[in-house]
Structure 1
Amino acid sequence: MIEYPFLRKGATIGITAPSSGVKPALHPMLRGACERIEKKGYKVVCGETVWTQEKAKSAHAKKRANEWMDMMQNEKIDLIIPPWGGELSIEILEELDFAKINKKWILGYSDTSVLLLAITLNTGIATAHGTNFVDIRGEYVDETTAMWETVLSTQPGAAVIQYSSRKYQKEWQHDNPSPCVFHLTEETYWKTITNRPVNLQGRLLGGCIDVIRHLIGTPYGRVRDFRQTHLNGEPIIWYLENCELSTTDLRRSLVQMKLAGWFDHCSGILFGRSAANKPIDGYTAEDVYQDLAQELQIPIVYDIDCGHVPPQITFINGALAEVKVNNGKGIVIQHFKP
């Protein structure tokens, strides 16, 4: 069974950097995010790691892990959100004590998804793939991103519905700040391999494929054990997003996941929009999706609201989901079923 945390009003949010911290030049941005979220009625507690960054990490692995575990075990902290992702959160996995991880929400994406997936697979506690902390520092938040609060405040046993965004951000414009952080200019259109409507049901698992693929073959990536221990025979819906992989690297990663059994008893796969997906010798991301759909004989949806081309839906690892896609629009209903 799956256990779901609950975000209460006036909760305390812990900010720690299990991957990358924030360099001094960007500290005002982090402080702005803290001020903005406190105006919403939350209390914010920042760890030491969020203020430091050197050699592609916020601190050495033990310090990052210790601060993470301290926040996990601190009963006054209700939710943990890293400032953003990074590169090397995988280093702290062997330093964590999964038996002492308490039931509280963890929210984030990118490199954070390594921790999200590992924690859900190894504990059965639901985790939240969605916005990073610095991305909610704006004067206002777009309606898709803003759903993180509603989703995390859903009672166990209840359901929450989210819709595909109206527009998405084509590229980051850090030199042109926006009141809502994102520059949402492009029309969102969810696509299916068959160009026909899709209706999926299953338990959600996923994250940034660049990094979660490295859990394969480790004690932290036992998808088959998780399926047998925590699911009630329900299939899995994978949601995946590509940060930096070429199409051939994406293909290799998906084949590895298939060979490792991650796609066994899978009802469908959702792929987020990507600014990567660089074609190799004419081999495009659409070709990758077509090949995978033919091999697995399952529906595949792509260009959804997930990952490094914002905004993004808040996906709950472990939740029982219904995903409906028709004429470019998507609906995601998540049931917080044990």
Structure 2
Amino acid sequence: MITYPFLDKGATIGVTAPSSGVSVGLHNLLKQACDRLEQRGYGVAVGETAWTQEKAKSAPAIKRAKELQDMMENDQISLIFPPWGGELFIELLANLDFSKFENKWILGYSDTSLLLFVVTLKRGIATAHGTNLIDLRGEFSDDTTAMWEKVLSTKAGSSIVQYSSAAYQKEWQHDKPSPCVFHLNEQTEWKSIAAGQAPVKVEGRLLGGCIDVIRHVIGTPYGDVRHFQENVIQNEPILWYLENCELSTADLRRSLVQMKLAGWFANCSGILFGRSPANTPVDGYTAEDVYQELSEELQVPIIYDVDCGHVPPQITFINGTYAEVEVADGKGVVTQHFKP
């Protein structure tokens, strides 16, 4: 069964950097984000690793693991909220005692999604794939991003509905700061494979993350999807959501085939793919070609260009919830049921 944390208003949020920390020149961004949380009534406990960054990581793996472990065991902290993702969270896996993790939220995306993925697989604790802390530094958040609070404050047994964004950010414009951080100026359109643009509905237990990083636990004790499906969600179908940060279409295809060969797509009800800054075509081979082939092979619907990943804003997807996703006329509705 799935266990759901709950975020109380006024709770303490732990900020640690299990992957990349914040270099000195960007400390003002982290301070702004923490100040915004405090203005909303939360307590904020910032660890040492959040303030450092060298050689593609915030600190040596042992130090990062200890700080994360301590925060996960601290019953005064209700949410673990890394500044952002990074590159090398995978180094921590062998240094963490997941059996001692308390039932609390972890929120983020990119490299953080590997932490989310493993915690849900190994412990059956729901985890939150959504905004990074740094992206909350603005004067306000867009409607899609702002839902993270309501989603994390949903009680077990209840449901929460989210809608596709009206617009997304095509590229970062750091030289033109915005009051809400993002520059949302491209019309959002959720698309589907196998059903053309006809309405599509899929449902199942949500599971996924950044394919660049979660693929690396295939065949390890940290990526036992079969055990999760048989023993935690009692063979309910899995509705995968995946997003591509840096892979070419050929590498994306290889990764998806590996996931299929590893049995990760057994009893899969559908796949959601986030908008991607990558998906570079190889010899005319596009992401849409990849989606079409996968849909035909698995005989499941595929929805793509959803609000998930490195092209903001992001819907808050909860690993472990039973979700219903409906798409029609380019718009999407995501209903997540917090069922055991």
Q: Which amino acid aligns with 1:120?
A: T
Find out whether 1:149 has 2:149 as its counterpart: yes
Find out whether 1:69 has 2:78 as its counterpart: no
SS at match of 1:256: helix
In the alignment, the residues of structure 2 paired with residue 114 and residue 39 of structure 1 have an alpha-carbon distance, to the nearest angstrom, of: 30
Alignment of 1:213-228 (within 5 A): 213-228=215-230
In the alignment, the residues of structure 1 paired with residue 32 and residue 272 of structure 2 have an alpha-carbon distance, to the nearest angstrom, of: 33
Find out whether 1:255 has 2:257 as its counterpart: yes
Find out whether 1:163 has 2:163 as its counterpart: yes
SS at match of 1:145: helix
Find out whether 1:185 has 2:175 as its counterpart: no
Partner in structure 2 of residue 33 of structure 1:
33
Partner in structure 1 of residue 307 of structure 2:
305
SS at match of 2:144: coil
Partner in structure 2 of residue 173 of structure 1:
173
Alignment of 1:1-338 (within 5 A): 1-193=1-193, 194-195=195-196, 196-338=198-340
CA deviation after TM superposition for structure 1 residue 233, in Å: 2.6
In the alignment, the residues of structure 2 paired with residue 146 and residue 36 of structure 1 have an alpha-carbon distance, to the nearest angstrom, of: 12
CA deviation after TM superposition for structure 1 residue 174, in Å: 1.0
In the alignment, the residues of structure 2 paired with residue 150 and residue 130 of structure 1 have an alpha-carbon distance, to the nearest angstrom, of: 12
CA deviation after TM superposition for structure 1 residue 232, in Å: 2.7
Cα distance per residue 1:114-171 (max 9 Å; x no partner): 1000000000000000000000110010000000000000000000000000000000
Q: Percent identity?
A: 71
CA deviation after TM superposition for structure 1 residue 299, in Å: 0.2
SS at match of 1:144: helix
Q: Which amino acid aligns with 1:316?
A: I
SS at match of 2:49: helix
In structure 1, the gaps of 5 or more residues are: none
In the alignment, the residues of structure 1 paired with residue 141 and residue 28 of structure 2 have an alpha-carbon distance, to the nearest angstrom, of: 19
| Length-normalised TM-score, structure 1 | 0.99
In the alignment, the residues of structure 2 paired with residue 25 and residue 96 of structure 1 have an alpha-carbon distance, to the nearest angstrom, of: 30
Cα distance per residue 1:93-119 (max 9 Å; x no partner): 110001101100000000000100000
In the alignment, the residues of structure 1 paired with residue 202 and residue 304 of structure 2 have an alpha-carbon distance, to the nearest angstrom, of: 13
In structure 2, the gaps of 5 or more residues are: none
SS at match of 1:29: helix
**RMSD of equivalent CA atoms:** 0.5
Q: Which amino acid aligns with 1:329?
A: K
In the alignment, the residues of structure 1 paired with residue 230 and residue 184 of structure 2 have an alpha-carbon distance, to the nearest angstrom, of: 41
Structure 1 stretches (4+) deviating beyond 6 angstroms?
Answer: none
SS at match of 2:143: coil
Q: Which amino acid aligns with 2:146?
A: A
Instruction: Number of aligned residue pairs: give it.
Output: 338
